[in-house]
Amino acid sequence: MVTTDQVWTDFLEIIRHEVGSRVVETWLKSLVLESWDASKRTVHVRAPNAFVRDWVTSHYQALFQEHLARLFVVESLSVIFWDKDQAQGSLRDVGTALPTCATIVPARLAPSPTGEQLFKKTHGVNATYLFDTFVVGPSNSLSYAAAQAVTQRPGFAYNPLFVYGGSGVGKTHLLHAIGNEIKRKYRKLSVLYQSADRFVTEFIHAIRFDKVDVFKEKYRSIDVLLVDDIQFIANKEQTQEAFFHIFNSLYESSKQIVFSSDTYPKAMHGIAERLRSRLEWGLITDIQWPTVEEKIAILKRKAERMGQSLPDEVVCALAQESTNSVRELEGALIRLLAVASLTGQELAVDLVKKVVQRPQLIVSGGTKSLDDIVDKVSRITRYSLAQLRSRSRNKDVARARQIAMYALKKFSDSSLKDIAHFLRRTDHSTVAHAIVKIDNLRKTDVRMQSMLADIEVLFSS
């Protein structure tokens, strides 16, 4: 019989691989899986305080729901978060308090008979991302203006709209903001936000279970389609074919389409030319990395929304110490507030320097970046970073790429998605497969053992 302790240990390990150790160390290790009610399919998770409870509930509930259901071997479950303040008093009091805590809605809904009904249950737009909460500056003003223009005349102004930029600069925020604003102005219009990798997964599922007609009907019933990270359909010919026809159907019906990508359309590899041309039909805008001034404004806005007041010197230090990514900038702010809350330390510049760490590898010889790790792999395998990032399927290049993925996971705190993005791969499952492959070879292949040993020697030198 599987114990809750074992489930929790396995769950943390899964999350560590999926989103990185930082999330586990900062947030999840402070939680306790209190109990599992098999009859009600309900998990009770205790947080150290309300701040941690609310943050985990709002940001990681989907991960809890998906992976705990799999570990407890059920189709769906509910997760009830509560904190130690709610635990004061008798067990009976806790029982009555639990339902008032945030509860995860079971993910598996009853199948809908039509595409339109299916859409109504899965529109995917996050209500917290609004134009009012988007900090506008020189780095993103054109994209912001174009996004607002789309909401004035959906399907006619800038159709399609293509927004590209680095990871974490605000593309996803803009897509959700478009969806929320259109829903506010035009309540009868159907709006769907969909990440490209989820689109691929949904299409594969439709093929497996003979639901392709339902899949097509769902997308053809949409008035506004928001597709995030469109680059992830690269090298997936069947998916591109399906998306090509969906695009044509929506465009010919004057339905609004908005894309985001980390790459300019012409620079996207593995995309059919006829689909690439459609991505370029409308307006293409980019979002640059934010300036220090913009980062300060972003931090102040986010702190205000969280009900926190930060000294100016702390905000400035955080803006200067943190990465350019808005997403990671917010993460740095949350880590800072979490550490201050959990340890009782004062919000000060010294605490910022202790808490904020760039995504680097800490080893005995100093700090090493992901580039440094791959540089060492390249010195042993004789293949450059550019070759490892290429689409070459040469056997030797592919094996060197797998070794790089293995080393990046072993010697850094990066998630599988981070590693996939760094090596220009479209699916983090490729990284997971590579790690398993090299780990198995390490146990049986003398040559592989020697290569990995040589790489480790470089880290200690």
Is residue 419 over pLDDT 60? yes
The CATH number of the domain covering residues in 115-286: 3.40.50.300
- Please report which residue ranges of 155-285 form alpha helices under DSSP H: 171-185, 196-208, 212-220, 237-252, 273-279
Handedness of CA 418, 423, 427, 430 (dihedral sign): negative
pLDDT at 364: 38
| pLDDT per residue as tens digits for the range 182-207 | 999 998 899 999 988 888 888 888 88
Output the DSSP codes for 421-456.
Answer: HHTT-S-HHHHHHHHHHHHHHHHH-HHHHHHHHHHH
User: 370 with 359: CB under 8 angstroms?
Assistant: yes
pTM to 2 decimal places: 0.54
Residue type, 101: C
Taking residues 267-276, what's their average pLDDT? 87
| pLDDT per residue as tens digits for the range 74-112 | 888 899 998 866 543 333 233 333 333 333 333 333 333
Minimal CA–CA distance to 299: which of 312, 280, 289, 283?
312
Minimal CA–CA distance to 232: which of 252, 274, 277, 262?
262
The CATH number of the domain covering residues in 4-100: 3.30.300.180
Strands 283-287 and 161-165: parallel
| pLDDT per residue as tens digits for the range 359-382 | 443 343 334 578 889 988 988 888
**How far is it, in rounded angstroms, from Cα 361 to Cα 145?**
39
Domain definitions of the chain by residue range: 4-100, 115-286, 292-355, 363-460
Residue type, 62: A
Is residue 18 over pLDDT 50? yes
**By three-state DSSP, how is residue 257 classified?**
strand
**Tokens in use for 393?**
């399927």
Q: So what's the architecture of 292-355 in CATH?
A: Orthogonal Bundle (1.10)
Torsion of Cα atoms, 396 then 398 then 402 then 407, to 10°? 60
| pLDDT per residue as tens digits for the range 204-262 | 888 878 888 888 888 988 999 999 989 888 888 888 998 999 999 999 999 999 999 98
Whole-angstrom distance between the N-terminal and C-terminal Cα of the chain? 47
Structure confidence at residue 58 as a pLDDT band (50, 70, 90): confident
pLDDT at 121: 36
Domain 363-460 CATH class label: mainly alpha
